[in-house]
Structure 1
């Protein structure tokens, strides 16, 4: 069934501690089976604010494609497979947990600094389980300055050799668009889609104005025009399969 569901940012689950403010589009905190609440292949979509010097100590993941997109500040990544990096805005990062990997993620600013970390982390399942863990990052800042929909990470055949980062799922692609006021992009038409307003305000064709934190979940739909009313940044998933059992 063709469907366009607008999800206001205020309706997301919120989990707060002394150092973390996490807004979660799908249930994460607690004993949940992620596939039961997924939209398409998207299992987790967390928007987190992390205080200086704080972060997530070493913890384990398995058979998950984890994509991290920083909006403000920096995040320090280290994992048990020997990968490490400092991720900043415009630097795409993908970790494939495979057979299992331990990793930590912390705000790159120290306790005595003031820079908060504002980051969106997204999970999808892999095509094949039980493979070796892998890691990839690439600076695509220059590509994002052109008021267009840019494939940041993809497993789709049509993006081979084009997208910045590969995904271990041949049915999914993650796009980002940074738009000046008045600029517009067209949402990919796919069995499942997820459009998230990471910054600014936009007009979503046929469904009105969306603010920062709002999202649109698409089923058997797409082709809509999204126009920036202010400077805006959109994170868009195009998915040709579902994780639901």
Structure 2
């Protein structure tokens, strides 16, 4: 069950909804598909955070979206994508992709490799973009100990990535709401330890620190950080 505190909810990887198929598994942070909980339909404009694990060669055939921002971050492997707006290519770790579906777009997503598994995080937000579909891809610098900007999201939200080596501390500025989703390793949020797939949803907070675990159990980590305007 989620761990709750003052303006803070911690959701552990094992407590996220699970969709388990022959060639793919998904952990959902919010109500999605067959999983519906009226108390957990989103966080601000964020409607979905799905951790997808695809077997070699597996993927999703053509499907349609509209009125959402679709933001993708590859953790391991390579994701081949194509959409009806003309976007396409292969996304690997270190690249953030944003597809503003707008009035409607169809796309496909498959594991580029026929030998290795793929893991990626796909996030969907209620979009303010109501025109033709729009696409953006950003290579995020391979730097540790910083809060790094990624794609421009049309949803009253900003997405950052932070990579932390042992001893690193990154201060996240205040925001009306903030969400931290750990993608690799171990990240400490103030005094709370978050493992890969864990998530912290924060209400109106002042600046807070993200750090790597140090000492005898030194280990680094990586996290996606959403700063929300509402």
Give me the TM-score of the superposition, normalised by structure 1. 0.85
1:24 to 19, 25, 28: 28
Match of 1:127 in 2: 128
Alpha-carbon distance change, 135 to 97 in structure 1, aligned in 2, over 3 angstroms:
same
Give the conservation status (yes or no) of the 8 Å contact 2:153–2:159: no
CA distance in 2, matches of 1:87, 1:34: 33
Secondary structure, counterpart of 1:182 in structure 2? coil
TM alignment of 1:27-176, pairs within 5 A: 27-30=31-34, 37-110=41-114, 113=115, 115-129=116-130, 131-140=131-140, 143-153=141-151, 166-169=152-155, 171-176=156-161
- TM-superposed CA distance for 1:35, in Å, is 10
- TM-superposed CA distance for 1:64, in Å, is 0.6
CA distance in 1, matches of 2:63, 2:146: 36
Determine which structure has greater relative contact order: mean sequence separation of CA pairs < 8 Å that are 6+ residues apart, divided by chain length.
1
Match of 1:157 in 2: none
CA RMSD across the alignment: 2.0
Superposed CA offset, 1:112-166 (max 9, x none): x2x111100001111243x1101111222xx23132010112xxxxxxxxxxxx2
Secondary structure, counterpart of 1:10 in structure 2? helix
Give me the TM-score of the superposition, normalised by structure 2. 0.90
Match of 1:205 in 2: 190
CA distance in 1, matches of 2:171, 2:224: 13
Match of 1:214 in 2: 198
CA distance in 2, matches of 1:53, 1:96: 26
Question: Which contiguous aligned blocks of 4+ residues in structure 1 show a shift greater than 2 angstroms?
Answer: 30-36
- TM-superposed CA distance for 1:91, in Å, is 1.2
Flag the structure with higher strand content: 2
Match of 2:216 in 1: none
Q: Which moved more, 1:182-191 or 1:232-241?
A: 182-191
CA distance in 2, matches of 1:132, 1:108: 27
Secondary structure, counterpart of 2:142 in structure 1? helix
Unaligned runs of 5+ in 2: 214-218
